Structures are given as C-alpha cells and as structure tokens.
C-alpha cells in the first residue's frame, strides 16, 4: 500500500511538493508560536520557578509574583516564631534606572537577598558566585543583557539611580516578565540603590523544618498572621501565569495564530490532494473498475497523506529547532516539554489526514463506469 501511495506521489511532483509545503509551513508556524508562548509564560513565573523549594509569603492581595506589595519586617519575626518553621528569608525587589559609561541608559529590577545564603537570587549563575555580591557596589547582571546595557562587561562601573556600582559577574538566562532586566545584589544594597524602606520587604521565602509538610506551615501562617498569604510555590507560579494571561491578550493572540496555522494547513493539503485526486480520477476509477473497494482507495489516499505527514513533520520540526537555537543566541530561551512533541506530531497527522478527507469523499462518490465513457 505504501509503495503504491509513494508512486502516486511521484506521479505528480508539483502537487506533492505543494501538499508537503503546506504541512511544513503549518508545523513551523505552530512550533514557532508555541515556543514563544512557552518562553513568555516561563518568564512570567521565572522568579517563583527558580525559588520553588520554599513557601512563599506575600501580601494577601497578591496574585502575581511580579507585582507584590511590600510587607512589614515584623511579619518575618512572626512567621519565624510559628512551629514547623526553620528559617525565614526576606527578599527585596525594587526598580532602578541605570546609566552606563558610554552614555546609554536602561532599567533594572534590582533583586536583593540576604547573605550568606542568598535565598531568592541570583540563579543560573554563569561567571559569578553569590559571594561576589558582597564587596561594596557589587551587582550581578545577565550575559544576554549586555547589548541592552550599553555593552556592559564584568568589572565595568555604572550607576543605578545615580549611585555607583560595578558588574561583579554574570548569570546566563535569568529573564523576567514586565519588570525590565534583572540585577542581583545584597538585600541592604538593593534597599540603598532603589530607596526601598528599611522596614519593608517584598516577600518572604520560608523553609519548613525537616519532616514537616509544607501544607501544615502554610495553614499555620494563613491562620495566624493577618494581611499575608502563604503559597506553595507551584500554586503561586500557576496563579501568576493565569493572572498575567487574564489581563492581556497574549493567550488569545498566540492561540488565534496557532489556530490559523492549523486551518491553513488543512486547507492547503485538502485542496492539493483534492486537485491531485481530480487529475488522477481515471486511475482511481480504473482501480475501482477492476475491483478495488472504497475502503482500499481511502487507505491509498490516507497512506499518501501519512507519507506527507511524516516527511512534513521531520522537515518542519527541524526548522523549528533551527529557529529555537537561533533566537537562543539573544537570550530567548525555551524548551519544548515532551507532551508538546507528541501534541505537535498529532497536530501534523490531523492536518494531513483531515485534509485528505476532501479527496476521499470525491473518489468514494466516483462511479467506476465513468472511466469507460471517455
């Protein structure tokens, strides 16, 4: 069957190339849009996902980890006094306007964490160690942000909010969503650079004692302390993504583009296979006249669609991988989860096999006798 289907494909190469191109374009567009969407959603929950081993304590109104309301430092002492709590780590995030040696300007979200553990950041360390933030004026920036920061290199001096600092080292791939670029330093320096009040923190990260389940600590915090909410990290990450997606058109935009890519693929391969079937209608009629059933002819057309799907998926997926590696050079990093690989393959099969139904319906309605009428 596959050999016969392959011969049919070879018979009309222009239309076969057209059908294959339709699948390749659809696979590429679906993969490209899905990849960018994964990058954006990863950025939305980046700070939570990179501190997932802790219980998060935020203001009770917070549903987006990128936009938190400051908490009183005394709340940290209350949390530390609760049973089951081993350690409480304060984190400060403030905005900073930067000016670089070549005159360019930029903006940072300055993340401050407490020495010596530096829980809360930095993460994805590249050339720096957390201890590099200890010397006076030291901050850590990201490798991919160098161009946006006036060509900033390790060791270079610059200003944040008019205060002199230097680039103590690099992370690689720390991204944020809607908060500008990230710079990491000690909690005291972050307060100084961003004029953050000394009696406030942005949020707390809580470590429970060994053998204590996080849920019991979360319930104790929510029950005992007013004005705050304790979160399991995974729940806050999911809530953050849902909040961001609900307040803008990102999901609708990417969803519609992916939908149109699938529909376009269905239309292209549907029309191409239908046109090819019309061109070879005498061949199909001859097959039916010598005893081929509608089931056999349907399998023959589906086999052609399957071959298009396999080759189209391989080429399209290769193009998506090239795109992924290409934009990774600029810091747009994303990775496809395993479920997406299966989903993309099944979408490819849906486009190819679904598009072939137009041709199958036409051939199934063909009367074999029409072949002999000239």
User: Using one digit for the tens of pLDDT, what is the confidence trace for 204-219?
Assistant: 999 999 999 999 999 9
Q: 106 in helix, strand or coil?
A: strand
Q: For residue range 311-344, what is the model confidence (pLDDT) as tens digits?
A: 999 999 999 999 999 988 888 888 999 999 999 9
The pLDDT of residue 178 is: 66
Q: For residue range 55-97, what is the model confidence (pLDDT) as tens digits?
A: 999 999 999 998 899 999 999 999 999 999 999 999 999 998 8
DSSP string for residues in 182-220? EEEEEHHHHHHHHT--TTEESEEEEEEPTT--HHHHHHH
**What does the longest C-alpha to C-alpha distance in the chain come to?**
94
Q: Report the DSSP beta bridge partners of residue 205.
A: 56, 89
The span from the CA of 313 to the CA of 341, in Å, is: 11
pTM of the model: 0.83
The vertex-174 CA angle with 172 and 176, nearest 5°, equals 155
The pLDDT of residue 370 is: 62
Local confidence band at 352 (pLDDT 50, 70, 90 cut-offs): confident
**Cβ count within 10 A of residue 338:** 7
> Of 359, 356, 350, 271, whose CA–CA distance to 313 is shortest?
350
The span from the CA of 20 to the CA of 308, in Å, is: 6
pLDDT over 90 percentage in the chain: 52
**Lowest model confidence (mean pLDDT) among 190-194, 201-205, 264-268, 341-345:** 264-268
Q: Mean pLDDT in the chain? A: 88
The span from the CA of 55 to the CA of 81, in Å, is: 15
């Amino acid at each position: 069957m596959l050999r016969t289907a392959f011969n049919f494909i070879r018979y009309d190469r222009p239309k076969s190339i057209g059908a294959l191109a339709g699948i390749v374009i659809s696979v590429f567009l679906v993969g490209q849009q899905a990849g960018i969407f994964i990058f954006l959603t990863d950025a939305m929950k980046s700070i939570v996902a990179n501190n997932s081993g802790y219980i998060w304590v935020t203001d009770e109104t917070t549903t987006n980890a990128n936009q938190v309301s400051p908490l009183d430092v005394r709340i940290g002492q209350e949390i530390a006094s609760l049973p089951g709590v081993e350690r409480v780590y304060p984190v400060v995030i403030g905005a900073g306007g930067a000016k670089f040696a070549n005159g360019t300007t930029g903006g940072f979200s300055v993340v401050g964490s407490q020495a010596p553990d530096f829980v809360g950041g930095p993460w994805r360390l590249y050339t720096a160690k957390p201890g590099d933030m200890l010397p006076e004026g030291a901050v850590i920036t990201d490798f991919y942000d160098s161009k946006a920061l006036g060509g900033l290199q390790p060791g270079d001096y610059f200003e944040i909010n008019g205060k002199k600092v230097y680039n103590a080292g690099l992370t690689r791939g720390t991204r944020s969503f809607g908060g500008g670029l990230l710079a990491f330093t000690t909690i005291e320096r972050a307060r100084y650079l961003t004029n953050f009040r000394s009696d406030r923190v942005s949020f707390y990260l809580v470590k429970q004692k060994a053998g204590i389940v996080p849920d019991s600590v979360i319930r104790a915090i929510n029950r005992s302390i007013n004005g705050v909410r304790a979160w399991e990290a995974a729940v806050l990450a999911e809530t953050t993504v849902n909040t961001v997606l609900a307040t803008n058109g990102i999901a609708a935009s990417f969803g519609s583009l992916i939908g149109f890519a699938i529909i376009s693929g269905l239309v292209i391969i549907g029309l191409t296979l239908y046109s090819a079937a019309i061109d070879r209608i005498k061949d199909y009629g001859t097959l039916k006249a010598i005893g081929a059933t509608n089931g056999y002819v349907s399998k023959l057309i589906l086999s052609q669609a399957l071959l298009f799907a396999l080759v189209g998926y391989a080429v399209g997926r290769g193009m998506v991988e090239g795109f992924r590696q290409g934009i990774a050079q600029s810091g747009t990093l994303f990775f496809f989860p395993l479920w997406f690989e299966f989903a993309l393959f099944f979408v490819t099969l849906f486009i190819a096999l679904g598009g072939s139904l137009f041709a199958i319906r036409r051939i199934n309605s063909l009367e074999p006798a029409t072949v002999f009428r000239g």
